A = this chain, B = another copy of it.
Amino acid sequence: SKWRVWGREDVRRTLKRRDPFSHKGSFGTGLLVAGSDEMPGCAILAGSAAMRVGIGKLMIGTTKYAASIVSPRLPEATYWQINHQSGEALRLPEGADAVAVGPGIADADFIERFLTEIWPKEIPLVLDAGALHPRNWTKRKAPTVITPHPGEMARLTGLKVEEIQRNRIKVASDFAVRNGMIVVLKGKDTVIALPDGTGFVNLTGNPGLAKGGSGDALTGMILGLVASEPDPVAAVANAVYLHGLCADELLEEESERAIMAGDISATIGRVLRSLAETEENGSY
Contact = CB atoms under 8 A, between A and B. Distances in A.
A38 B78 contact: yes
Contact of A210 (B18, B37, B80): B18
Nearest to A74: B41
A201 to B, nearest CB: 15
Nearest to A66: B71
Contacts of A212: 24, 51, 56-58, 76-78
Q: How many copies does the complex hold?
A: 4
A63 to B, nearest CB: 12
A24 B213 CA distance: 10
Contact of A54 (B39, B69, B256): B256
Interface in A209-225: 210-214
Given A72-B44, A76-B45, A210-B27, A272 B258 contact: yes
Interface in A139-192: 149-151, 187-188
Contacts of A284: 255-257
A11 interface: no
A137 interface: no
B56 A210 contact: yes
